[in-house]
Structure 1
Amino acid sequence: MKQVVIYTICMGALLSSCNIYKKYNRPDVDMEGLYRDPVSVNDTLVSDTTNMGNLPWEEVFTDPQLQKLIRQGLEQNSDLQTAILKVKEAEAGLMSSRLAYLPSLGLSPQGTVSSFDKAAATQIYSLPVVSSWELDLFGKLTNAKRGAKATLLQSEAYKQAVQTQVISTIANTYYTLLMLDKQLAITEETAVLWQKSVETMKAMKEAGMVNEAAIAQSEANSYMIAASIPDLKKSIREAENSLSLLLKQAPQRIERGKLEDQSLPTLLNVGIPVQLLSNRPDVKSAEMALASTFYNTNQARSAFYPQISISGTLGWTNSSGSYITNPGKMIASAVGSLTQPIFNRGALTARLRVAKAQQEEALISFEQAILNAGSEVSNALVQYQTAQDKIEQREKQIFSLEKSVEYTQELLTLGTSTYLEVLTAQQSLLSAQLSGISDEFQRIQAVVNLYHALGGGRTE
């Protein structure tokens, strides 16, 4: 008995040096310079302490119709429903690992009827309750439980990542519809104006002010604008169908507001990198995957050490060796066993090497997830800044082109300008107006992308 105690103490000291019981700690990751300044070429962004990603999505997306669609998506989206079920699976796995600490119990009744040379039949029975209990002296069950906990946290983070993606995708598709609606409205208004221009040209021809070539060119431009309308309507239908798919419903018309009525945050605080690390659900998921592989490695190490189990039986039987007694008597037994791997053809060593390699892979994925997060934030910031700069210049361009169209039409009436100058001015104005709508959409899209990049839409 003394030898067993000494052996166990020595093994415990050895195990402490092997870190079998050590908990996972986040590795040191360089978070400096994670975001790039959207204006400066070389400088990194001085981050704010307030993170826009912490805002509830209802405060970011204030359009009532959009809020209704997002709520519907959070209730019905197929990907999100699947992610929720994965969380339930992980919860069941954690419960199983926790119950592994308890002894197992089983009822194993047996009965035998035998007769030799037509003698009276002999009936033997036993009603035992069998129990088995594994002692967790070497961290096998502990690391399994911790690994299951990490898996649960990973599945919860994955669910949050899907939820954030669903919110952002619904918002982006919704704003795409608003952009297409406005482009269609301007195109239809321009088509009406150009049709009136054709009528004006015909009247001017009667007065001898323009020729047939001017009328033909004017009609061709009018038809060109009219031909672009079906493409815009097609794009609207496709966007509605895509949004319906996200909402897990049959393709149908989507009720929506107007692009000019939208109000989104203009103060884009991104937060410090540590906040990004704790908020991004995909980063959190990658870290929990790393923690899971850490505990798998510990389990692989613990397999090299003894497995101690205690089993016992308690019940009733009428069989006592070669004797049959009736009624039956109580029977009880207890057995302790220790299994120490000696030679397993390298299987345990191979398993440990695989676990270590998987842990290194998970660490690389975790570091890459952090870099991806910083890159997405930087891209969203520069997208917003670029769209803002373009909008300022585009407004000036549209104002100048509106004056140009007005002046050239007046000059054409006075006979001091050609119809080509009028057509060119009209085409340039339409192009600038459509581009202006696209610029506004890109600015809105940048806000949505930044909110997504900062891990917005989480459920705390």
Structure 2
Amino acid sequence: MLGRLTGRLSGLAALTASVAMLALAPKPAAADNIADALIGAYNTSGLLEQNRALLRAADEDVAIALSALRPIINWISRLESSYTRSGNALASTTSHPDGFFTGLELRQLLYDGGASVLGKQAAQETVLSTRQALLQIEQQVLFRAVTAYLNVLLQEETVAIRQNAVRLLGEELRASQDRFEVGEVTRTDVALSESRLANARANLADANGALTTAHAEYINAVGRHPGRTSGQPRLPSLPRSESDAEALAQRNHPSLLSAQHQVRALDLGVQRQRASLGPTVQFEANVGFNDDFGGTDFSDTASARVILSQPIYAGGRLNAQIRRVMAQRDASRANLLNVQRDVTQDVSDAYVRFQTATASLTASNERVRAAQVAFDGIREEATLGARTTLDVLTAEQDLLDAQLSQVSAQTERSLAAYQLLVAQGLLTAERLGLAVQIYDPTLYYNLVKDAPAAISKRSRDLDRVLEALGKK
């Protein structure tokens, strides 16, 4: 009996030492934190590059609209050949004059009822809408990086807990086999230990697979392999109440601002189409040189004219265009209402999610505390022979499960906090203060908004910007 008791206490001492080593083992050196993930995503996102290029295209639409208000000068050359037959009932003559003309032609819009000006203003509103759409894409890119980082962290913690469970259950199995040999337990107890160890190994395999998947998503979202994670991030600054969050979102959310600018752009589009029904006045002039290939004659020519045109009938096309733009404007207004409601709901959902996650984390912390107290108590009782090694390991497993739930609750709270930032329109590189070169959408716009000539200084500045962007 004394020998069996000594064996039991020896096994218990080994398990207790294992638990102590787990608690005292140093954590890996800190490496990647959530700011690193956000910086990597911002600097390497192809989606951001795509939408920045779309914004530059919208910038160019302003220059194109402005060009309609400026003179257009073309150099033209013509080779002409004609056939003329003239005469009367008695005789006729024919001629084949050939000629060459080269010169300059100028056209300038004088009046179109303001349609071109309205077109430029609509293009400017579209630029403002596209800038806000780019910010919303930026939020999506950064939130994906946040999610990827937190998922890697969660899966790493899960793998560590599962590994420890396999190790402890291996100790339990060996202790059960030792006790079976001395007759303290039955074959059923050994089989139960074997079953629990096999289940723990299966859970560890699943956890390793989930960690591999999390690494792949991190690479996709951030642009590189993750290093050692530095643990749960500090929570960002959050609003004091749900109403404060909703008020900020209604003023600041990029999706909402984008929809508002789109409505204004289409309002201007309706006005532009209506203005196009009025008269248009253009000035045209040309100057050039004529040469007669058939003789020695040549001439210098110059002409100028003012042309007034007024659409009378175009097969119903003009009114159809007005009705189409009006329908698009009405659709944009309805979309604005939907976006307003979606933003409000997203804020509410994110706020409730954060409050729920906070309450869940509080409960998980209490569960860990209670499991720790239970484990310590059962371990002490086991040293006195009132508990078995199996009781100790069961309590240890409860503690490890509680710790896993705690890690999950911490991850959920962090995700909810950053989701609340997205819902308010605050998850951008500039607002987060990331150590990156912030993309300035006004730099390119200011260079192209006045439609610079190809030989101007501003055009050369634009070339340098394009070279810096790697687009030329």
Report the TM-score when normalising by structure 1.
0.76
Q: 1:184/1:154 Cα in 2 relative to 1: closer, same or farther (>3 Å)?
A: same
Q: Where does residue 215 of structure 1 map in the other structure?
A: 190
C-alpha separation in 1, matches of 2:76 and 2:320: 38
1:263 aligns with 2:231: no
Task: Give the AA of the match of 1:160.
Answer: L
Task: Give the AA of the match of 2:262.
Answer: A
C-alpha separation in 1, matches of 2:255 and 2:410: 29
C-alpha separation in 1, matches of 2:215 and 2:249: 33
Q: 1:402/1:210 Cα in 2 relative to 1: closer, same or farther (>3 Å)?
A: farther
C-alpha separation in 1, matches of 2:203 and 2:32: 31
C-alpha separation in 1, matches of 2:318 and 2:299: 46
CA contact (8 A) 2:113 2:275 kept: yes
CA contact (8 A) 2:236 2:418 kept: no
1:362 aligns with 2:335: no
CA contact (8 A) 2:281 2:309 kept: yes
Q: Where does residue 304 of structure 2 map in the other structure?
A: 333
Q: Where does residue 270 of structure 2 map in the other structure?
A: 297
Structure 1: stretches of 5+ with no match in the other structure: 1-61
Q: Where does residue 202 of structure 2 map in the other structure?
A: 227
CA contact (8 A) 1:172 1:448 kept: no
Q: Where does residue 53 of structure 1 map in the other structure?
A: none
Matches within 5 A, 1:117-132: 124-132=99-107
Task: Give the AA of the match of 1:89.
Answer: A
Task: Give the AA of the match of 1:447.
Answer: A
Matches within 5 A, 1:422-441: 425-441=395-411
What's the C-alpha RMSD, in Å, of the aligned pairs? 3.0
Matches within 5 A, 1:386-405: 386-405=356-375
Deviation of the 1:412 alpha carbon: 6.0
SS in 2 for 1:344: coil
Q: 1:402/1:301 Cα in 2 relative to 1: closer, same or farther (>3 Å)?
A: same
Q: Where does residue 44 of structure 1 map in the other structure?
A: none
Q: 1:294/1:357 Cα in 2 relative to 1: closer, same or farther (>3 Å)?
A: same
Q: Where does residue 25 of structure 1 map in the other structure?
A: none
Q: 1:138/1:402 Cα in 2 relative to 1: closer, same or farther (>3 Å)?
A: same
Q: Where does residue 347 of structure 2 map in the other structure?
A: 377
SS in 2 for 1:256: coil
Q: Where does residue 42 of structure 1 map in the other structure?
A: none
Deviation of the 1:423 alpha carbon: 6.3
Q: Where does residue 204 of structure 1 map in the other structure?
A: 179
Matches within 5 A, 1:230-245: 230-245=205-220
Deviation of the 1:359 alpha carbon: 0.9
Q: 1:92/1:440 Cα in 2 relative to 1: closer, same or farther (>3 Å)?
A: same
Task: Give the AA of the match of 2:304.
Answer: S
1:283 aligns with 2:253: no
Q: Where does residue 139 of structure 2 map in the other structure?
A: 164
Structure 2: stretches of 5+ with no match in the other structure: 1-29, 86-93, 431-439, 441-472
CA contact (8 A) 2:32 2:230 kept: no
Deviation of the 1:256 alpha carbon: 3.3
Q: Where does residue 81 of structure 1 map in the other structure?
A: 49
Q: Where does residue 308 of structure 1 map in the other structure?
A: 281
Deviation of the 1:419 alpha carbon: 7.7
Q: Where does residue 97 of structure 1 map in the other structure?
A: 65
Q: 1:290-328 deviations in whole A, cap 9, x for unaligned?
A: 222212211221232222222222223357xxx987342
Deviation of the 1:137 alpha carbon: 4.1
Q: 1:358/1:388 Cα in 2 relative to 1: closer, same or farther (>3 Å)?
A: same
C-alpha separation in 2, matches of 1:180 and 1:143: 55
Identity %: 20
Q: 1:376/1:256 Cα in 2 relative to 1: closer, same or farther (>3 Å)?
A: farther
1:254 aligns with 2:226: yes
SS in 2 for 1:209: coil
SS in 2 for 1:109: strand
Q: 1:356-390 deviations in whole A, cap 9, x for unaligned?
A: 11111111111211222222222221112111111
Which range moved further: 429-438 or 138-147? 429-438
1:453 pairs with one of 398, 414, 423: 423
SS in 2 for 1:259: coil
Deviation of the 1:427 alpha carbon: 4.4
Q: 1:204/1:402 Cα in 2 relative to 1: closer, same or farther (>3 Å)?
A: farther
The aligned length equals 390
Which range moved further: 355-364 or 287-296? 287-296
C-alpha separation in 2, matches of 1:69 and 1:164: 14
C-alpha separation in 1, matches of 2:322 and 2:429: 37
1:133 aligns with 2:108: yes
Deviation of the 1:135 alpha carbon: 2.8
CA contact (8 A) 2:239 2:245 kept: no
